[in-house]
């Protein structure tokens, strides 16, 4: 059991290298199936091994499940994880002028300018998940 946990942790670290150097913005899409296939294990085994297990690193302590994220396509033909998109939205909102907050539509446009086509509704969903209030509630 411990050997399996170690193998899974090593595989997560290998596949999420950018996270450890850049933070959440560097998170790449990753699903349980990818880890299961690379370790020749069943997906349900990986699911059980990652449940309520934590990884400690210089950025903090994270549940294994945190490193698994769905993917969104980018214009460049690549993919970005939903976790990375949420981190980008958080950065945009944190850096917005308090007198003129940025709307979900404009956040979607800013992300599009960076090559990530994200619908306004998706921006709103992620903003709410991050517990960031709507634009009219963020005005100073």
| Same domain membership, residue 105 and residue 85 | yes
Assign 98 a pLDDT band (cuts: 50, 70, 90).
confident
Q: Residue 40 belongs to a domain with what CATH number?
A: 1.10.10
The rounded distance, in Å, linking the Cα atoms of 18 and 25 is 8
Q: pTM value?
A: 0.75
The rounded distance, in Å, linking the Cα atoms of 82 and 102 is 20
Segment 33-69, tens digit of pLDDT: 999 999 999 999 999 999 999 999 999 999 999 999 8
| pLDDT for residue 80 | 85
Domains contained in the chain, number: 2
Q: Find the domain containing 107 and state its range.
A: 71-137
- Could you tell me if 46 and 32 are in contact, meaning their C-beta atoms sit under 8 angstroms apart? yes
| Same domain membership, residue 79 and residue 51 | no
| Same domain membership, residue 78 and residue 129 | yes
| Same domain membership, residue 75 and residue 63 | no
Segment 64-88, tens digit of pLDDT: 999 998 888 766 667 888 999 999 9
Give the containing element (helix H, strand E) for 105: helix 104-113
Between vectors from CA 12 to CA 11 and to CA 14, what angle results, nearest 5°? 65
């Amino acid at each position: 059991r411990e050997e399996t946990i170690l193998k899974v942790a090593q595989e997560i670290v290998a596949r999420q290298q950018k996270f450890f150097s850049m933070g959440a913005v560097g998170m790449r899409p990753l699903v349980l199936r990818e880890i299961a296939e690379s370790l020749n294990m069943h997906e349900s085994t990986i699911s059980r091994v990652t449940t309520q297990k934590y990884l400690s690193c210089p950025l903090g302590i994270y549940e294994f499940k945190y490193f698994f994220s769905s993917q969104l396509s980018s214009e460049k033909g690549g993919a970005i994880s939903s976790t990375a998109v949420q981190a980008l939205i958080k950065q945009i909102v944190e850096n917005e002028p308090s007198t003129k907050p940025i709307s979900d539509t404009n956040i979607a446009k800013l992300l599009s300018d960076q090559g990530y086509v994200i619908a306004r509704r998706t921006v709103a969903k992620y903003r709410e998940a991050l517990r960031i209030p709507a634009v009219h509630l963020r005005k100073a």
